[in-house]
Chain A
């Protein structure tokens, strides 16, 4: 069947421009797929968070517990860094939508750097925990904590790699304004990683 529907999306604030080839829904297939993927990711992280909540206080007496290792001020700064990376990401998208490629690269690089700072902070936190005696196989709390935060860290790392790829493409002139949706898709993934951390920060670190 011929796929003939035309679609437009918001290019800049008040300027309409074509964003993707015609589709039967009038929406970008890639964007539909990304939202479906993010919906399914809710189930993945829901499972990991549930396992953590179930196991965090199920360890043998005398072994290390959450209250012994968490450094709330340190993790708060990490959370703030990741939260601000969502701002720089959305500014990168706004920049490419109005055709400002220099600012696009600035904001993409800023987002990647903030993401890398978060991951670096997480690796440092893990080394401190291991030094204090909490390893992956120490107890149920350790296993579920590292599985949850490790999976999230892997997602952030993947996001940083995608951001650096976009930066590289833009430098080579292979990311024109017409491909703003590519930045939007990476942005959706990045914001999702941020909202997962919002939940983890509260449920894992703050709730007593």
Chain B
């Protein structure tokens, strides 16, 4: 049993609560990135933002522009959530809580916007 899943203070009565190791225990103790890694992520984010603005002015891309911009935005979103918010390194429970809200929002509002034919205008 690791420090993270130890369940009882010496001499203390009462039921024992065990932490599932994949939830809060051992996996919670992954090393976070170094400061230099954070700087590298920030440089990538800055480069993508610059590319977004430059691509915005390319008229010849037509409708493809929107797809490229959304893809770039998703990459930036994922980099911040996984690295800066440590979701890549933290407990799965945090990931589930956040992803549940995110997926629910995407699901509900895609239906709402589809009802108003926003994607087919």
Contacts and interface: CB of A to CB of B under 8 A. Distances in A.
Interface of A: 1-10, 13-14, 16, 23-27, 31-32, 35-36, 38-43, 45-47, 49-50, 53-54, 57, 72-73, 76, 79-80, 83-84, 86-87, 89-91, 94, 97, 187-188, 191-192, 194-195, 198-199, 201-203, 206-208
A118 B55 CA distance: 23
A80 B5 CA distance: 42
Contacts of B56: 72, 206
A86 B84 contact: yes
A188 B56 CA distance: 30
Given A35-B94, A43-B105, A195 B77 contact: yes
18 contacts: A2-B13, A4-B9, A4-B12, A4-B16, A6-B4, A8-B4, A16-B29, A26-B4, A38-B98, A39-B98, A39-B99, A41-B101, A42-B104, A91-B35, A195-B81, A198-B76, A201-B73, A203-B73
Q: Is the interface of A mostly helix, strand, loop or mixed?
A: helix
Contact of A5 (B19, B31, B52, B99): B19
B66 to A, nearest CB: 5
Interface of B: 3-9, 12-20, 23-25, 28-32, 34-35, 38-39, 41-42, 45-46, 49, 52-53, 56, 65-66, 69-70, 72-73, 76-77, 80-81, 84-85, 89, 91, 93-94, 97-102, 104-106, 108-109, 112-113, 116, 118, 121
A40 B14 CA distance: 35
Given A39-B101, A49-B109, A194-B80, A94 B17 contact: no
Contacts of A188: 85
Given A8-B28, A26-B24, A39 B100 contact: yes
A194 B80 CA distance: 8
Contact of A4 (B4, B8, B70, B80): B8
